Amino acid sequence: MQTIPPTLAPSLAAVDFDGATGLLHGASVVEDVRTLGDLAGVFEAESARAALDPSTVAYRVQCYFPVADGTEGGLFFGCTFLEPGDVGGEYFMTKGHFHAKRDTAEFYWGIRGEGLLLLMNEDRTIRAERIQPGSLHYIPGRVAHRMVNTGTETLTFGACWPSDAGHDYATIRDEGFSARVFKGPDGPEIRRRD
Ligand code: PAN
Ligand code: ZN
């Protein structure tokens, strides 16, 4: 009988789910860092952001791109590490985006920490889902997505999206989300910004 010896994935060795760090290990992992200096115009209190140390890390994204950007039918994989903190009471969050190819969907899932996933349709109707370790979030096509860290530890979440999705950051930069999340006396408050 012929047998087939299994091998480890050749280019991405492991994701640390055991230690629950979500860290990607492997030669082909690419890392992007977003500091407060990179997030001009993202928070409502822009003057408060500008007064903070621009080198403060807001989040890091580790990605594994097994195929070239734009490849139809492929998938990308990433883990985001969003730090706790706030700018003028507004929690640290990702820039947020629509996919450039509007109809492409994405999965997010919680690994560590807690937060809110803002999901906004093209008509600016918005909803929020709680993210926590083990929660799974299906983001349909045509829905802008932004993660907000409402907790006190790093919010770590995984993501998987089509390799031809691309990112449209300009729409959110110009029009923003129709709600923002602030620290309130009794916890996070999602305030409308229509
Ligand atoms: C994620 C995001 C990541 C960082 O991988 O790109 O969490 O958020 P921003 O891209 O909004 O800064 C994803 O949604 N990819 O499509
Ligand atoms: Zn996305």
Alpha-carbon distance 66 to 76, whole Å? 7
Model confidence pLDDT, tens digit, residues 94-109: 999 999 999 999 999 9
pLDDT of res. 26: 87
Ligand nearest, relative to CA of residue 61: 1
Q: Which of helix, strand or coil describes residue 107?
A: strand
Structure tokens at 51: 């007064």
The answer to whether the Cα torsion of 28, 33, 39, 42 is positive or negative is: positive
- pLDDT (tens digit per residue) in 116-170: 999 999 999 999 999 999 999 999 999 999 999 999 999 999 999 999 999 999 9
Position 6 confidence tier, pLDDT thresholds 50, 70, 90:
confident
Ligand 1 atom closest to Cα of 96?
11
Which numbered atom of ligand 1 lies nearest the CA of 146? Answer: 11
The first and second tokens of residue 173, run together, are: 């930069």
Do 113 and 154 contact (CB within 8 A), yes or no? Answer: yes
Distance CA(22)–CA(28), nearest Å, equals 16
Q: What is the pTM of this model?
A: 0.96
How close is the Cα of 160 to the center of ligand 1, in Å?
10
